[in-house]
A and B are shown apart, each in its own frame.
Chain A
Amino acid sequence: MAAAPMPMEVDSGNGVLHRKQSIYKSLDESFEIQKEMYRGQQYSQIYFARLHLMRTLLYSLLPTWKPHLPVCTVLGLEEGKECIIVGTIYKHMKLKPSILDEYSKERSASPLVQPHNFINSDDYLVLEDESGRVKLRGTVLLPSVYVTGIVVALQGKETGAGDFMVEDILEAGLPHQTELPLNSGEDKYVVLVSGLSVGSSSANPLHFQLFVDHITGHLGDEKEQGIAAQIVQVIIAGNSVEYPRGLLNGQNLGSKDQSRLSEPIKELDILLTQIASGIPVDIMPGTTDPANFSMPQQPLHRCLFPGSSAYNTFRSCTNPHSFELDNVRFLGTSGQNIDDLAKYSDAKDKLGFLERTLRWRHIAPTAPNTLGCYPFTDRDPFFVEICPHVYFVGNQDKYETSLIKGSDGQLVRLICIPRFAETGTAVVLNLRNLECHTLSFGTQLGL
Chain B
Amino acid sequence: MASDMKGFFRQQKKNKSGGIVKPKSSSKKNSSASDVVQPPALVSHGSFDLQDEYDDKEEVLRQFDVNMAYGPCLGMSRLERWERANAWGLHPPKEVKDLLGAGKVNSECLWGGRV
Contacts and interface: CB of A to CB of B under 8 A. Distances in A.
Contacts, number: 33
Nearest to B108: A39
Contact of A39 (B72, B75, B84, B87): B75
Contacts of B76: 39, 41, 45, 377
A52 interface: yes
Interface in A276-295: none
B71 A52 contact: yes
B69 A40 contact: no
B88 A44 contact: no
Contact of A40 (B71, B72, B75, B87): B75
A326 interface: no
A378 B75 contact: no
Contacts of A39: 75-77
Interface string B54-73: 00000000000000110110
A48 B74 contact: no
Given A130-B69, A131-B68, A377 B74 contact: no
Nearest to B67: A130
Contact of A48 (B71, B80, B87): B71
Interface residues of A, number: 14
Nearest to A48: B71
Contacts of B69: 130
Contact of A45 (B68, B71, B87, B88): B71
A60 to B, nearest CB: 13
A48 B72 contact: yes
Given A52-B88, A378-B84, A41 B68 contact: no
Contact of B74 (A41, A52, A378): A41
A42 interface: yes
A418 interface: no
A217 interface: no
Contacts of B71: 44-45, 48-49, 52, 130
A40 B108 CA distance: 12
Interface in B32-74: 68-69, 71-72, 74
B63 to A, nearest CB: 15
Contacts of A48: 71-72
A42 B75 contact: yes
Nearest to A51: B71
Nearest to A131: B68
A130 B80 CA distance: 20
Contacts of B80: 377
B113 to A, nearest CB: 9
Contacts of A375: 75
Contacts of B72: 44-45, 48
A133 to B, nearest CB: 13
A232 B70 CA distance: 47
A52 B71 CA distance: 9
A45 B88 CA distance: 14
Given A39-B76, A44-B75, A45-B76, A377 B68 contact: no
Interface string B70-100: 0110111100100010011000000000000
Q: Lowest 9 A-B CB distances belong to which pairs?
A: A41-B75, A48-B71, A44-B72, A130-B68, A378-B84, A377-B76, A45-B75, A48-B72, A39-B75
Interface of B: 68-69, 71-72, 74-77, 80, 84, 87-88
6 contacts: A41-B75, A44-B72, A44-B75, A45-B75, A48-B72, A130-B69
Interface of A: 39-42, 44-45, 48-49, 52, 130-131, 375, 377-378
Given A45-B71, A52-B88, 16 more contacts: A39-B75, A39-B76, A41-B75, A42-B75, A44-B72, A44-B74, A45-B75, A48-B71, A49-B71, A130-B68, A130-B69, A131-B68, A375-B75, A377-B84, A378-B84, A378-B87
